[in-house]
Structure 1
Amino acid sequence: MKRLFSKIVAFFEKLSLKSRISLVFALSTFLLLMFTIMFSYQSMSNILTNKLHATFNSNLQQIRLSMENTIEDLNYVAQQIAFSENLTFKLDDYLHSSPSYDRVKVYEDIKNELNVIQFSNPGIGLSLLYLKENDEYLFYNHGVKDEFSLDHEPLLDEGYNMHTYGPHISMEQYKNKYVLSVARKLDVNYADDIYIYLESNLDLTNDLLEVDNVLNHADYIILDDTRQIIYSENETFPFNSSFNGNEKGYGKNTGFYWFEESTEKGWSIVALIPISEYNEEMNQWVILMIYIAILFVFISLVVSLLLWKTLYKPLNEFRHEIKLMGNNNFHSEIVHTKIPEFVDLINRFRNMRVQIVSLIQEIEQKERKRADLEVEKLKHQINPHFLMNTLDTAKWLAISGNKKELTGLLTSLNKLLYYNMGKLGILSTLEEELDSMKQYLMLQQIRYDFEYVTNLNVPKEILQAPIPRFILQPLVENSLYHGLVDEGTIEITINLEGKMIVIEVRDDGRGMTREKMNEILNDQSFKQTRNGMGIGLNYVKRMMERTYGNYAEIEMDSMVDKGTVVRLRIPYIKGDMK
């Protein structure tokens, strides 16, 4: 037995995915059909019979509740009108007053109040006040038929000063639908008896009796408390004939299955279903339950389990492995399967993954080298005009004999060039960067004799923080050549805000337009000018991106004739370059 089982397992493992699915579905279908034929029919027949009875009874209960709710709504509105002291007072005033303007006004007031009550109860159809002896009706909201009569047949429920009628043809003009109605006597001091008459706004046949109807060919009859038929949709059980029931509330009668729902008032509703229709429904329910409930659920469970083990589990593992690769995890191997198609697919995928990793590493190395070369190129590409003009200034200082300024000029130039071209690495300290910026400002003051003031505010505790070289000089140069004219103030403020160093260079010069700011910030090309060192803000942006990635940012605000502010935010790295 064990050997046979081993052979079956070995055979199954050699099958392709298509063969496995076909075999599993064939076995599942065969076993299910055998189980259905042998065990299901008798038990399901009993279950479905009880289910149909419960469904029919539930349908009748809904119809009974709908009719009772309609009658309750009619009684409520009639009671609301009868107990309204304001309406009774105005009606008494109207009936006892002679024709006049005031009487017309009272009529309109009564009409409006009745309309408000009716509008707040959309289930009300025809409504009017009826003077019985005079056979006169007042305050009607719709047209009334000429044959209107307060006493209708059949009488559904009789109460004190209030009767419920129906189902009967509506007394509303041009309306020939079955409705329910209520007539209630009003307590008004008048020679004639006055009644409020209300009809339901629903078509009894279409709106009540067909609510959630289970069978398309079901007919309904309504019985009064003496079991006389007061409403019938079936010619076999005519109006005013009697209907015999039983205590169970269902049975057979003259070729029909019937189900009865009784009310506390004594009247009841009976649903009539032809026996052929009932049996047809039974057969439909049997087929539906067999093929949908048992077949679908059982086969789905069994086949889903088998497919999960043979197909969906490897697929999900393969998807997870692809997802890990998308998250930069290139080394996980999750899928373990013996399906030939999957084995070939996984091997191809993993070979492709190895090639992708190799290409990514190669591209990253090339991009890193290219970025480093671009940054170094920008840093060392000093404007030749700047050097020539500086040396020309030194020449004229030598000729004029101004040794002190000449010495200061050459010293600053020497320090600036050493800081720019020396093999000092990419990073320097904030203190060294500030010193280089001061040397640049000293050169510019000697060359152009500018009348400007430089204010520097920086906390001592961050002077040794490492930052990229030459990111302050372009900001100051921007203030000199895009901001100040011949005089002004440059404020350099450096603060520590949380874990960020905020460097702010502010001038009170000419400012610039929004378009000019965007051009400076977004320009990716290298453009040298005839003034300054020519490194520019493009170098600053490249250096910040190279060093900090997305953790640093540069901002610029400017107003024409007000000045410009350039602001850098870079991560604070606590340390000492020395």
Structure 2
Amino acid sequence: MKSPFSFDNISLKNRISLVFAISTFLLLMCTIIISYQAMSNILTNKLHDTFSSNLRQIRLSIEDTVDDLNYVAQQIAFSENIGYKLENYLQYPPSFDRVKMYEDIKNEINVITFSNPGIGLSLLYNKQQDHYLFYNYGVKQEFSLSHDPLLAEGYNMHTYGPHISMEKYKDNYVLSTSRQLDVRFSDQIYIYLESNLDFTNDLLEVGSVMNNANYMMLDENHNIIYSENATFPRNSTFPSNKQGFGKQNGFYWFEESTKKGWSIVALIPIAEYNQEMNQWAILMLYIAILFVLISLLVSWLLWKTLYKPMNEFRHEIKLMGDNNFHSEVVNTKIPEFVDLIDHFRDMRGQIVALIHEIEKKERMRADLEVEKLKHQINPHFLMNTLDTAKWLAISGDKQELTSLLTSLNKLLHYNMGKLGILSTLQDELESMQQYLVLQQIRYDFEFETSLFVKEEVLQAPLPRFILQPIVENALYHGLVDEGTISITVKLERLQLVIDIADDGKGMTPQQVEELLHKQTIKQTNQGMGIGLNYVKRVLERTYGADARMEIASLVGKGTVVTLRIPYIKGEKA
């Protein structure tokens, strides 16, 4: 005897409550034990990658700016035209030609610098006379050729790190380059170029991911040559490491080094870094853990405990709706379902018995109607044929009489075969041809017949006696005095399509509608419609909805009767 507190006796309502309670408890436990550590590691790595990528972009931007400065300086230094005019300018005494030479040199330098939008202040500086000339913008009085820090040193060319611009009315930090020119009459002429970008706003803030980040620049000895943070003053040493990141004096720092020795360092306050981490953690916690884990866990438990049995029970009901009564219903072990399943099984048994009884009655009625139609057709045809044989005998035409009786014998032997046994397309066509031979003998007007069929479909099985009634209707009710009957058999998309066409008087749309859709056809003196109704009923009985008969007709033009039958590949005899 089962205990009243057994799980099998728990109702559906209590099971749902229990499942949700267990899922909530498991969610809390998983959140406390796993989520914080896992998300902390994931977000730390993600933020490290983000900051490293940001620093890499800043480093590339600074290097591109330095390269632009050096490239423009080289363009000016190696310009033969500028060098030639500069030498002439230095030799000319004050005159109109010297002024014109000055403007020419200035314009050529401006053309080179203007084609490089990253170039700001540009000028030539005479160190011996402490005098600058050919400048494109205003210059401060305290102009100096060299600045701290020295970022890179080369042959006759120096690149200086971030310093206050020498352009008048401009106090932004810029990068600059100076290069000595090779002038024949003076060895104290230098090119001075500044970047057109604000070092702080345009270069250091490229792709910045944190608003309160500060930046520093270090030389190859890790001395600070530029700093935005007072905690790490200029000219002091910064304790960096090979890993490229760390923690120092309340800041997280990330370093991006260059091949020339100097490096960029980003300083992020620990409080803001943790705030960024917490925002990521909260977002991922609620989205990933809350929704994904709850959805997956609860969905799986509901599917396992409740939905799976309910779905199987629903599937059983659907199978019964599709006339499948042989499947077993799942045993859910849920009290509410046990009672429902018992009633369902009783109902299913009653429905199966009722359907079998109805099918049996319908089958008997269909067989009787088919037999009745067949016997309605055969006596009419046999009487006409024997009447023709009588007159041939009286006339003494033995050859025609012999041909008629031979064809009649073959036709009766085929048509009197056991009802319900399928024939082949080849046998059905031969029987139809025997019928046409009989009609050509007894008809008092000439008609032609044509047959188009591929050999590959001749062995296809199909019901007996479905072509002759259609051909008979074409002869009796289609042709007038003379005409043509053509039979075409083709294969379309696994269907055998048989067209019987005549060029006779045709039918009205009302007659076509009556032949196709009325269940019973009123018999006329000529038997109009009985044969077609027989064919239609045989197709319904044999193939159900998979086969159909179509009629296309125009008055005065003729009629085409089309049979569409499922194609089954037959074996050759």
Q: Quick check: TM above 0.5? A: yes
The aligned residue for residue 128 of structure 2 is: none
The 8 Å contact of residues 156 and 267 in structure 1, kept in 2 or not, is answered as no
- Does the C-alpha gap of structure 1 residues 93 and 360 become closer, same or farther in structure 2, counting only changes over 3 Å? farther
| 1:165-244 map, 5 Å | 203-204=202-203, 207-210=206-209, 213=210, 218-225=212-219, 227-228=223-224, 230=226, 232=228, 244=238
Name 1:524's counterpart in structure 2.
517
Give the Cα separation in 2 of the matches to 1:347 and 1:268: 79
SS at match of 1:66: helix
- Residue number in structure 2 paired with 1:17: 12
Give the match for residue 541 of structure 2: 546
1:82–1:186 Cα contact (<8 Å) kept: no
Per-residue displacement from partner, 1:53-90 (whole Å, max 9, x unpaired)? Answer: 54543332111122234345567888999999xx999x
> Does the CA-based 8 Å contact 2:204-2:215 persist in structure 1?
no
Flag the 1:541–1:28 CA change in 2: closer, same or farther, 3 A.
Answer: closer
Q: 1:17·1:339 contact (CA, 8 Å) conserved in 2? A: yes
Count of residue pairs brought into register by the alignment = 515
Q: Comparing 263-272 with 552-561, which one deviates more in the overlay? A: 552-561
The structure-2 alpha-carbon separation of the partners of 1:250 and 1:468, relative to structure 1 and needing over 3 Å to count, comes to: closer
After superposition, the Cα gap between the structure-2 partners of 1:494 and 1:48, relative to the gap in structure 1 and judged at 3 Å, is closer
How far 1:304 moved relative to its partner? Answer: 7.0
1:261 has 2:255 as partner: yes
5+ unaligned residues in a row in structure 1: which ranges? 1-5, 119-124, 138-144
Q: Is residue 571 from structure 1 mapped to residue 568 from structure 2 by the alignment?
A: yes
Q: What amino acid sits opposite 1:446 in the alignment?
A: R
- Rounded to whole Å, the distance in 2 between the matches of 1:222 and 1:188 is 36
Q: Which amino acid is the alignment partner of residue 59 of structure 1?
A: T
Within 5 A, what are the aligned runs for 1:290-305?
none
Q: CA deviation at 1:267?
A: 2.5
The SS at the match of 2:336 is helix
Gaps of 5+ in 2: 86-99, 126-132
User: Structure 2: which amino acid aligns with 1:524?
Assistant: H
1:273 aligns with 2:269: yes
Alignment partners' CA distance in 1, 2:302 and 2:488:
68
Name the structure 2 match of 1:340.
Answer: 335
- Aligned residue type for 1:273: P
Residue aligned with 1:258, SS: strand
Question: Alignment partner for residue 49 of structure 2, among 21, 33, 58?
Answer: 58
Partner SS for 1:269: strand
User: How far 1:13 sits from its partner (Å)?
Assistant: 3.5
Change in 2 beyond 3 A, CA 1:77/1:316: farther
In 2, Cα distance between equivalents of 1:378 and 1:349: 43
Aligned identity (percent) is 36
Give CA deviations for 1:319-360 in whole Å, capped at 9, x if unaligned.
Answer: 554565567543333523332223234334444444554455
Could you list the per-position Cα deviations for residues 3-47 of structure 1 after superposition, in whole angstroms to 9, with x for gaps in the alignment? xxx96x94443322332343455466568768988xx5xx98887
3-state SS of the aligned residue for 2:251? strand
Distance 1:186 1:521 in 2: 109
Q: Aligned pair in 2 of structure 1 residues 312, 184: CA closer, same or farther (>3 Å)? A: farther
Asked if residue 452 in structure 1 is aligned to residue 448 in structure 2, the reply is yes
- TM, length-normalised to structure 1: 0.59
Equivalence for 1:121: none
Bigger radius of gyration, 1 or 2?
2
Identify the match of residue 67 of structure 1 among 53, 58, 61: 58
* Cα deviation digits, residues 389-446 of structure 1 (max 9, x gap): 969x969x979x7575997999799989978997952447554763465335533663
Mean Cα deviation higher: 347-356 or 74-83: 74-83
Matched, 1:472 2:467: yes
* Equivalent residue letter for 1:332: S
On the 8 A contact 1:318/1:334 being kept in 2, the answer is yes
Distance 1:311 1:467 in 2: 50
Normalising by structure 2, we get a TM-score of 0.59
Cα drift, residue 471 of structure 1: 1.9
Asked if structure 2 preserves the Cα contact closer than 8 Å seen for 1:178 and 1:203, the reply is: no
- The SS at the match of 1:208 is coil
1:270 positional shift: 2.1
| Matches for 1:53-132 after TM superposition, within 5 Å | 54-71=45-62, 126=118, 132=124
Q: Does structure 1 retain, via aligned residues, the 8 Å contact 2:512–2:551?
A: no
